[in-house]
């Protein structure tokens, strides 16, 4: 159901049976089978915590949990259980402590990994299910999307060592169709790419709340994107 490059030589694949399989990309051989969920794997991610890299996984309705896996031993490090529906997003907040997740249960939760995944706070309840969450490239804003075609922009307030303290809703941007996927620009923290249900990729300026460019890419929903950017000159972007 989902896949993620863990490192240059390792790939994680999440399946419908709740098992995550780790593959060696060079040999094609299985490295490990990770069992910690009781439902389909919906989302995979990576988080850096206490100087180590962990694989994160989120599961579907019937389990609705988040698990952190040690990428050295492949042992389960911790399990977080707050959501009541499928986990659709897991994002590292880049402070060596905090993790955020979104779910079809209309909630977005922030956790303290130093306290075994205890919830720090949650963002105001969404009007509808959360489909995607991302952090801008400078780590200052959290962007969320839902089934109601809305992009929400949250300002992140950080304290000492840039640790996340709280967030507040800065603005909402209305889109004219459902957003299925979202990717941050790595060149400009004001820009994000939206993959929509009607087969478009939209480059949105989150400060102005407007579309910078629109690409017609297919006839179906854009559920995954890999974006390669090149800045040919200041203020311009080339998408590949």
pLDDT tens-place string over residues 134-159: 999 999 999 999 888 889 999 999 99
DSSP annotation of 206 reads T
**pLDDT over 80 at 233, yes or no:** no
Residue 181: CA count within 13 A, CB half-sphere: 15
The mean pLDDT of the chain is 91
Question: Residues with Cβ < 8 Å from 184, sequence gap 6 or more?
Answer: 134, 135, 136, 137, 143, 191, 192, 193
**pLDDT over 60 at 230, yes or no:** yes
Closest CA to 110 of 48, 44, 156: 156
Q: What is the pLDDT of residue 227?
A: 78
**Residue 23 pLDDT grade (very low, low, confident, very high; cuts 50, 70, 90):** very high
**Residue 235 pLDDT grade (very low, low, confident, very high; cuts 50, 70, 90):** low
Q: Residues 198, 208: contact at Cβ < 8 Å?
A: no
- pLDDT tens for 83-113 read 999 999 999 999 999 999 999 999 999 999 9
**pLDDT over 70 at 240, yes or no:** no
Place of tokens 């090149």: 230
Closest CA to 6 of 99, 93, 70: 70
pTM of the model: 0.90
Q: What is the pLDDT of residue 156?
A: 96
Q: What is the pLDDT of residue 68?
A: 97
Taking the CA atoms of residue 64, residue 176, residue 227 and residue 105 in that order, the dihedral angle to the nearest 10 degrees is -10
Q: What is the pLDDT of residue 166?
A: 94
- pLDDT tens for 113-132 read 999 999 999 997 667 899 99
Q: What is the pLDDT of residue 78?
A: 96
**Residue 239 pLDDT grade (very low, low, confident, very high; cuts 50, 70, 90):** low
For 71-75, 76-80, 127-131, which range has the lowest pLDDT when averaged over its residues? Answer: 127-131
């Amino acid at each position: 159901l989902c896949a993620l490059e863990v490192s240059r030589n390792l790939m994680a694949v999440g399946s419908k049976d709740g098992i995550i399989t780790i593959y060696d990309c060079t040999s094609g051989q299985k490295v490990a089978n990770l069992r910690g969920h009781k439902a389909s794997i919906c989302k995979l991610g990576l988080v850096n915590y206490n100087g180590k890299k962990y694989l994160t996984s989120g599961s579907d309705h019937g389990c609705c949990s988040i698990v952190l896996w040690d990428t050295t031993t492949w042992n389960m490090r911790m399990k977080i259980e707050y959501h009541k529906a499928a986990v659709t997003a897991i994002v590292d907040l880049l402070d060596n402590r905090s993790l955020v997740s979104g779910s079809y249960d209309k909630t977005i939760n922030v956790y303290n990994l130093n306290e075994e995944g205890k919830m720090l706070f949650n963002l105001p309840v969404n009007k509808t299910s959360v489909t995607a969450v991302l952090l801008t490239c400078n780590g200052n804003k959290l962007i969320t999307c839902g089934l109601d075609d809305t992009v929400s922009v949250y300002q992140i307030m950080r304290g000492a060592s840039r640790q996340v303290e709280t967030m507040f809703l800065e603005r909402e941007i209305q889109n004219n169709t459902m957003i299925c996927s979202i990717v941050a620009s790595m060149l400009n923290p004001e820009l994000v790419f939206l993959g929509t249900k009607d087969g478009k990729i939209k480059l949105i300026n989150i400060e102005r709340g407007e579309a910078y460019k629109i690409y017609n890419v297919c006839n179906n929903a854009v559920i995954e994107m890999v974006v390669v950017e090149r800045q040919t000159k200041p203020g311009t972007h080339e998408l590949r």
